[in-house]
Chains A and B, each alone.
Chain A
Amino acid sequence: MRSLAVVVALGCFALAVLYWLGTLQFGTSHPGPHHLHAIVFGVIGILALVWLRFQSGASRA
């Protein structure tokens, strides 16, 4: 599960960068950078890191 959390986090951060730069256009209504999509994926990436933190806390306990 810890490796899954890392993969999800890295994947989300990569998607966030691609949307921010406007390279990725999937699910968008107009061409160009999509900051809202980038922010959402950035936040989900951070949440995946929080999930990783909880996995580490649980394994220590």
Chain B
Amino acid sequence: MLLAALQGVSELFPISSLGHTVLLPWLLRWPVDRSDPTFLAFVVALHFGTALALLVFYRREWLRIAAGLARSLVRGRIDDADARLGWLLVAGTVPLALAGVFLESPVRRLFGSPALVSAFLIVNALVMFAGERLKNAAALRAEKALALLSFREGASIGASQALALFPGISRSGASIVAGLLAGMTHDDAARFSFLLATPAIFAASVLEFPRLLAPAARGVLLESALGAILAGLTAYASVAFLTRYFHSNDLRPFGYYCLIFGAVCFTLAVMKVIA
């Protein structure tokens, strides 16, 4: 259940859920076998809960986007903000889908090294610091509203999420930084990042759904259901907090956290305390 709560929080906070679900079991010496069918089924349930929470939180926005997409398909042109946002999200999801199918397996081999995962967590911090610095350097540039984002910029922000295939790099952190560099405010960059996360996490959990129906997973169905509910509740609370937080704050506190946690884990890994 702790893993479920951790997944719900860390999936949306820019601190890498994958990095934490790899490092914390090592740190706390939990006997987690990441290739065990029951564990994989549990993880699918947690992702499903998280995606559902995002869908519920942005339900009005998604209804408007769906209507906008349908309108644009019927008319054969994109002539309103909701349709444009919808197609921006599609443009942002395609590069991630391609990266997911082609890069996930080779990258998965990196999961076995706590030192490497810790190093990526430090890189995640440096990416956020660099993003904030570049954003401040360009502070005089007029801030671009989400509706004015080009499709190329939308696709670039979506592609930046692929960095999160590396355990330790945060999906939301990378996409918020990419949004900031495209000229968006923290507010809009975070909103676009969370909207982009919904189809990505949903698609991942739907495609992996058969794992929940596997005979080996039947023994953990109750735990998976409870885990999904807990992950969903913590994800909902996280997105509610973060949307308020980014009204007037930036990524640096998360950067400091990732830098310190990554450095501690890296030291422990090099000293062979965790392996």
Query: Do B207 and A36 touch across chains, with their CB atoms under 8 A apart?
Result: yes
Instruction: Report chain B residues within 8 Å CB of A40.
Output: 97-98, 100-101
Task: Count residues of chain B with CB under 8 A from any CB of chain A.
Answer: 16
Q: Does A23 contact B (CB under 8 A)?
A: no
Query: Do B76 and A56 touch across chains, with their CB atoms under 8 A apart?
Result: yes
Among the listed B78, B90, B101, which residue makes an inter-chain contact with A37, where contact means beta carbons less than 8 Å apart? B101
Query: Do A54 and B97 touch across chains, with their CB atoms under 8 A apart?
Result: no
A-B contacts, CB under 8 A, total: 35
Q: Does B102 contact A (CB under 8 A)?
A: yes
Q: Does B244 contact A (CB under 8 A)?
A: no
Q: Nearest Cβ in chain A — how far from B125, in angstroms? A: 31
Q: Does A24 contact B (CB under 8 A)?
A: no
With A36-B207, A40-B97, A43-B97 known as contacts, the answer to whether A58 contacts B105 (CB < 8 A) is no
- Nearest A residue to B91 via CB reads A47
Q: Does A21 contact B (CB under 8 A)?
A: no
Instruction: Report chain B residues within 8 Å CB of A56.
Output: 76
Query: Do B94 and A61 touch across chains, with their CB atoms under 8 A apart?
Result: no
Instruction: Report chain B residues within 8 Å CB of A27.
Output: 101-102
Contacting B at CB under 8 A, from A46-60, are 47, 50, 53-54, 56-58, 60
With A36-B207, A40-B97 known as contacts, the answer to whether A54 contacts B78 (CB < 8 A) is yes
Cβ proximity bits B41-67 to A, threshold 8 Å, 1 near / 0 not:
000000000000000000000000000
Q: Which of A36, A37, A44 has the most B CB atoms < 10 Å from its CB?
A: A36
Q: Does B138 contact A (CB under 8 A)?
A: no
Q: Nearest Cβ in chain A — how far from B52, in angstroms? A: 21
Instruction: Report chain A residues within 8 Å CB of B237.
Output: none
Query: Do B105 and A29 touch across chains, with their CB atoms under 8 A apart?
Result: yes
17 new A-B pairs (CB below 8 Å) besides A27-B101, A57-B77, A60-B76?
A27-B102, A28-B105, A29-B106, A34-B101, A39-B207, A40-B97, A43-B97, A47-B94, A53-B73, A53-B76, A54-B72, A54-B76, A54-B77, A54-B78, A56-B76, A57-B76, A61-B77
16 A-B pairs in the complex with CB atoms less than 8 angstroms apart:
A28-B105, A36-B207, A39-B207, A44-B94, A47-B90, A47-B94, A50-B73, A53-B73, A54-B72, A54-B76, A54-B77, A54-B78, A56-B76, A57-B76, A58-B76, A60-B76
